[in-house]
Amino acid sequence: MPADNIIRISVSEAARLFGISHLTVRRAIKDGEVTYIVVHNRYKISFESLARWAQKTATVRNKLASRGIGQFVEAWKIRNTLYTPNPKMFKDKK
């Protein structure tokens, strides 16, 4: 992934999205589990590293599904089987 496309989020945003405590996020930073930079004395965490960490940590993975953004996945599912989000995926058969 090119460096200019890195998505970084704050500790509080990470806690809200993943349904965990900000202390849990700070513990992951302290333990070197996620990558981050400091901007104006605030942690900005790489979303990619945060997602990887959440998937390998059972407690966080479960909270993500029940309290975090994962609780909305069922409501977002597309039920129309004829729908494709990107028509360019299918080549023209002419």
Q: Give dist(CA 16, CA 22) in Å, integer.
A: 8
Is the pLDDT at 79 greater than 60? The verdict is: yes
Query: With bands split at pLDDT 50, 70 and 90, how would you rate the model's confidence at 10?
Result: very high
Q: What is the CATH number of domain 3-89?
A: 1.10.1660
pLDDT tens for 41-60 read 999 999 999 999 998 988 88
Record the tokens describing residue 44, joined without a space. Answer: 């900005």
Share of the chain above pLDDT 70, in %: 81
Is the pLDDT at 61 greater than 90? The verdict is: no
Domain boundaries, the chain: 3-89
Please indicate whether residue 44 or residue 92 has the higher confidence score (pLDDT). Answer: 44
CB crowding 14-24: b at 16 or more within 10 Å, else e: bbebbbbeeeb
Q: Give dist(CA 18, CA 81) in Å, integer.
A: 29
- The pLDDT value recorded for residue 75 is 74
Place of tokens 């959440």: 54
Q: How many CB atoms lie within 10 A of CB 65?
A: 15
